[in-house]
Chain A
Amino acid sequence: MADQTPNVCGNPSSVENLGGASGQTASELDKLRAEVNSDVKATVPDRFKGDTANALQRFANWLADLIPEGEGSPMEIYHKSLGQAAQTMQKAKQLLEQAQQFCAQNGLYLRPDLVVQACDPNRPDAQALVTVGQNQVDTARQIADLARQQIRAANQVLDQMATKTADDISAIVNALGGQGGRGRTGGSRTRRGAATPRPRATEESELLYGPEGRIRLPAPGTGTWSGTPGDSVWTPHNPQNYGLEPGQSIRWREGVPDLSEHEVPPQFMRDGGSATLDGLPLTGDYKIDNALGDQALANRFGMTPDQVTQWRQDNDYIYHHYSDNELQLVPGRVHRALPHQGSASELR
């Protein structure tokens, strides 16, 4: 009767396996985090500047913050906790086997509900033996319960991390709107070689056709329009993603953002004047038009065009093509983040 082992202690190896798998995951996450940091740091300083560099570095930092590294990482804690639980469970299993052995040697048997009984209750020492055997079984059961408590506690810590992280990521993804990206198969790697010249919608933008031709707007779900999309006021759900302060919005006119509200303020202009440069013979060619803008400002500031270029770079100011003869000097943080095809496209 006593050879039927109740599954009170579970299978310690299965617990250890799960702990081992979480340890491997923690190690792989550490490797991935290091690679991401290395890739970003190797590329950003030389290839990107300004807000793009900041955004990429922030993304790498975000991953690091999301899942702490090394000993303090929830996956690593889970690994260790389950390892301890497996040891505890193994101890319980050994104690139960010893109790079963005691029962078998002393004319006792263990019921599936972990109650010890004497095969011959009429033996004079039956009750004393049952008490000893039951104590051993109860100890094994208590230690098995302790192992399960360790697993529950580990589950709780890991679950909190996973749930919070998933919520955080979902919030970010929802804020960005839509589906996008490169595709899990990486099949789009061959696409770059073709380099077909075309405007294309990204996950952050929507390509539409209006009366003036192609217009690119922020993707649906990233903000709200007060009226006709592309010809009304657009208020982003996450203004910080567009270099704006909470509550700020952007006025669009005929498919082109009018960034006059977000222009460089007069107090930051060298002559205290407006950051709108109009009456320029713009071509749609950025290099030519930037030179025209720099020349116009050079005339106003009493500087050379090269000095204006340097001043713009130092302050991250960019020309926004608003119409076929008007440039708006705006902070790069606003201009770069906003999906649009300005009047430069129309000029081209």
Chain B
Amino acid sequence: MGDGFELSVSAVSGLADAFADQQQRFHQLGGPLRDAAATIDTGDAGLDAETRAVIGRVNTMLGLIGDTWDRLAGAVDTVVDNVQQTDQQVAGSYRELLDGVAGTGTAQNVPMA
């Protein structure tokens, strides 16, 4: 890409994959907490319920972080898609140009110097 931007699709895809993996782990983090809270026994039923409610809110928070991470993964995906789309559009324009001007027929990839 121009303007000093160098974007490798595979590298950025890797970042999106990492974010997607991380968002799933955020969602899974609350499982053990929820299970442990379900069996809590402090000798005070009111405190037990309060504790479960707090852990429920922690799970909500972890889920929201996961959702936010999911959006980040999606945004990075969009970057990749847009780069590929632009690349194909530019390539298409040049093919049309070459086909029209030089009559080269079917466009083929050529080695880069």
Contact = CB atoms under 8 A, between A and B. Distances in A.
Interface of A: 7-11, 14-15, 17-18, 20-22, 24-25, 28-29, 32, 35-36, 39-40, 43, 46-50, 52, 59, 63, 66, 75, 89, 144, 147-148, 151-152, 155, 158-159, 161-163, 165-166, 169-170, 172-173, 176, 180-184, 186, 188-189, 191-192, 195, 197-200, 202-204, 285-287, 290, 309, 312-313, 318, 348
B40 interface: yes
Contact of B60 (A8, A166, A183, A195): A166
A43 B77 contact: no
Contacts of A15: 40-42
A166 B86 CA distance: 37
B73 A162 contact: no
Pick from B12, B23, B75 the residue with the most CB of A within 10 Å: B75
A230 B13 CA distance: 32
B20 A25 contact: no
Contact of B20 (A29, A35, A75, A189): A189
Contacts of A287: 2, 90
Nearest to A144: B43
Contacts of A318: 3
Given A166-B61, A192-B80, A313-B4, A203 B74 contact: yes
Given A10-B43, A181-B71, A195-B84, A166 B21 contact: no
A180 B58 CA distance: 22
A290 B5 CA distance: 14
Interface residues of B, number: 72
Contact of A169 (B24, B68, B90): B68
A43 B12 contact: yes
Contacts of A8: 43
Given A36-B22, A148-B47, A192 B13 contact: yes
B33 A21 contact: yes
Interface string B59-98: 0111011111011111101111100111011101100000
Contact of A21 (B24, B32, B42): B32
A258 B22 CA distance: 39
Nearest to A198: B85
B57 A163 contact: yes
B64 A188 contact: no
Nearest to A317: B3
B61 A162 contact: yes
A17 B5 CA distance: 50
A283 to B, nearest CB: 9
A151 B21 CA distance: 33
Given A151-B42, A182-B73, A195-B81, A172 B68 contact: yes
Nearest to B42: A10
Contacts of B88: 195, 197
Contacts of B85: 195, 197-199
A290 B3 CA distance: 9
Contact of B54 (A43, A159, A181, A309): A159
A47 B8 contact: yes
A159 to B, nearest CB: 5
B24 A200 contact: no
A343 B65 CA distance: 37
Contact of A147 (B3, B17, B32, B42): B42
A59 B81 CA distance: 21
B33 A182 contact: no
Interface in B21-46: 21-27, 29-30, 32-33, 35-37, 39-44
A25 B34 CA distance: 11
Pick from A18, A28, A43, A46 the residue with the most CB of B within 10 Å: A18
A36 B30 CA distance: 19
A105 to B, nearest CB: 25
Given A20-B36, A173-B67, A162 B58 contact: yes
